[in-house]
Structure 1
Amino acid sequence: MGSRPVKKSLQEYARGLAGGLLFSFPLLYTMEVWWHGFIADPAQLLVMVVVTYLLLLAYNKYAGVHDEATWKHIAVDSMEEMGIGFTISFGMLLILNRISISSLTFVDISKIIVEAMIVSIGVSIGTAQLGAGSSGGSHKEERSRSTREGVAALALCGAVVVAGSVAPTMEIFLLAVEAQPTHVFFMALVSIALSVMIVFFSDFRGAAHRPPGSKTYNMVFDTCLSFLIGLGASAFMLWFFGRFEDVTFYVCFAQVITLGVLASVGASAGRLLIK
């Protein structure tokens, strides 16, 4: 976005709008996300806004479509993507009769903020993903996948996009409460196995772009990175949606591992598929 021709900026806004809806529609229709507007406090909302903005900065730095962009442009683009996210969320919640202009309350604003932060990530990915390819974009894609920072940024985005639509639901809590230690153990093993399969044996687009070093080292490092990022993203989303309140440590742990199956797949596949 930034200081570019009007036509090009409008095209990117259109891609961002499409991406925000495409990647975030399930959450716009999820009751648990609406309910969180009733219980979210200002501190939680502020943390979510800050974390989302930092995630957008990282994504646009390592996977944005403009290889020549400076940090100033990246910061502006990230802010614009959040603005589009707010616009989409406000419009959709209004259309779905979840908020009312005539009686806008703090709860309604909380709903908009929660939805907007998730939609913003979809906007950012849509802006980069839905655009026409270019040699510069290909160069940046290869470079982002050859640095540890780039890999981590893309993995985190993938984890949030894939697991974000499930994190607010009660199904994760139910599965965790009913899971025996053996179930949790095997879920962790499956997460690791899927990470290895996706990154090293699936021949996904971009799988060939790996940092230099021995294959064994890369396999261990990349698998651990995807798994830990998936667990970290899962823990943050579950905390934000109040899934750690008034439950035992085991239930918290089981929830993280349960959601981590999806998040680690998103971290592994996302860093190869999103550019």
Structure 2
Amino acid sequence: MATESEGRVLLQGTGRALGGALLFASPIFMTMEVWQLGLVVPRYRLALLTLATVVLVLLLTRFFGATTAREGWRGIVTDAGIAVVMAAVAATLVLTALAVLSPLPEWRDALSVLAIELLPAAVGASYARGQLGRTARPSRVTGYADELLLMVAGAVVFSANIAPTEEVVLLAARTGPWHALALVGLSLALMHGFVYSVGFKGQEAPTGGVLRTFVVFTVVGYVLTLAVSAYLLWTFGRLDGTGAGAALTQCVVLALPGSLGPAAARLVL
């Protein structure tokens, strides 16, 4: 009976991982630029992206807690592996059904596209597997470093669905210095307001004063979002051949939606 119960829990968790991947990554599954970028982005950048995905999912699984019977790092690695595999399965099923991929005869191209699709899908699978079950464990956020990592994960989910699109480059080309400053101010206001002001469930109280909270959490979270934006845009080749000013403007444009991710992560977790 215990074995049957463990098997049922494993199957349910695997189903949640599949659902979480679809929930978080459906927009990027159906983004045409991703299908094209997967064929032209250098393979070493895709390999780095895949490695970063696996490391991020491992760290998030440590926060969420393993849902398998295994304890310690064995359970964490098992849960993270299931999340990554189900994210890949979700992407393969959707893109094959949409006639975007032919996994068997064109497996090299298929793997390149999947490497891009995997990032938000795997984060979503990890979150759904660990936190959306009926017996979800409390997240193990114990310090400032944990808060920062969760903000990075939130920025990744919100930015990865938009970073491959050409709209980021087009909007940045139309954005002047004053518009860019306005975007920075708007992003900071949204991040801070969502977590501390508007009464969402999970709202936090400022610790150590409003100014300290703004600098230590909101400003640092925005800087992390800019870093995530820069890495994703570099991975997809959007920063190649651009000057420093144009590259920074692209990061600021992408950080507007990306900045909602850290706020959402702190509210939810």
Same fold (TM over 0.5): yes
1:86-123 deviations in whole A, cap 9, x for unaligned?
21222222111112245224222211222233321121
Query: Matches of residues 182-261 of structure 1 in structure 2 within 5 Å?
Result: 182-208=178-204, 213-261=208-256
Q: Give the 3 Å change call, closer, same or farther, for CA 70–165 of structure 1 in structure 2.
A: same
1:33-52 deviations in whole A, cap 9, x for unaligned?
10111112221111011111
Query: Matches of residues 70-219 of structure 1 in structure 2 within 5 Å?
Result: 70-133=72-135, 137=137, 140-141=138-139, 143-144=140-141, 146-208=142-204, 213-219=208-214
Query: Mean Cα displacement is larger for which, 69-78 or 24-33?
Result: 69-78
Q: Write the letter of the residue equivalent to 1:232.
A: A
Query: Mean Cα displacement is larger for which, 59-68 or 49-58?
Result: 59-68
Q: Write the letter of the residue equivalent to 1:238.
A: L
Equivalent residue for 1:33? 34
- Checking the alignment, whether the CA contact within 8 Å between 1:164 and 1:237 is kept in structure 2 is yes
The residue matched to 2:201 in structure 1 has which SS? coil
Query: Mean Cα displacement is larger for which, 80-89 or 21-30?
Result: 80-89
1:143-162 deviations in whole A, cap 9, x for unaligned?
51x52122112211111112
Query: Mean Cα displacement is larger for which, 198-207 or 172-181?
Result: 198-207
Q: Write the letter of the residue equivalent to 2:198.
A: S
- Checking the alignment, whether the CA contact within 8 Å between 1:62 and 1:153 is kept in structure 2 is no
Q: Which runs of 4+ in 1 moved over 4 A?
A: 65-69
The Cα shift of 1:167 comes to: 1.0
- Checking the alignment, whether the CA contact within 8 Å between 1:52 and 1:117 is kept in structure 2 is yes
The Cα shift of 1:215 comes to: 4.5
Q: Write the letter of the residue equivalent to 1:264.
A: S
Aligned residues: 265
1:204-258 deviations in whole A, cap 9, x for unaligned?
3333377x64454223211122211211111111111111012222111100001
Percent identity between the two aligned chains: 27
The residue matched to 2:204 in structure 1 has which SS? coil
Q: Give the 3 Å change call, closer, same or farther, for CA 107–101 of structure 1 in structure 2.
A: closer
The residue matched to 1:121 in structure 2 has which SS? helix
1:58-93 deviations in whole A, cap 9, x for unaligned?
211223465995223212211221111121222222
TM-score norm. by structure 1 comes to 0.88
- Checking the alignment, whether the CA contact within 8 Å between 1:158 and 1:270 is kept in structure 2 is yes
Equivalent residue for 1:266? 261
Q: Give the 3 Å change call, closer, same or farther, for CA 52–102 of structure 1 in structure 2.
A: closer
Unaligned runs of 5+ in 1: none
Query: Mean Cα displacement is larger for which, 99-108 or 178-187?
Result: 99-108
Query: Mean Cα displacement is larger for which, 66-75 or 187-196?
Result: 66-75
- Checking the alignment, whether the CA contact within 8 Å between 1:229 and 1:267 is kept in structure 2 is no
Matched, 1:5 2:2: no
Equivalent residue for 1:24? 25
- Checking the alignment, whether the CA contact within 8 Å between 1:93 and 1:112 is kept in structure 2 is no
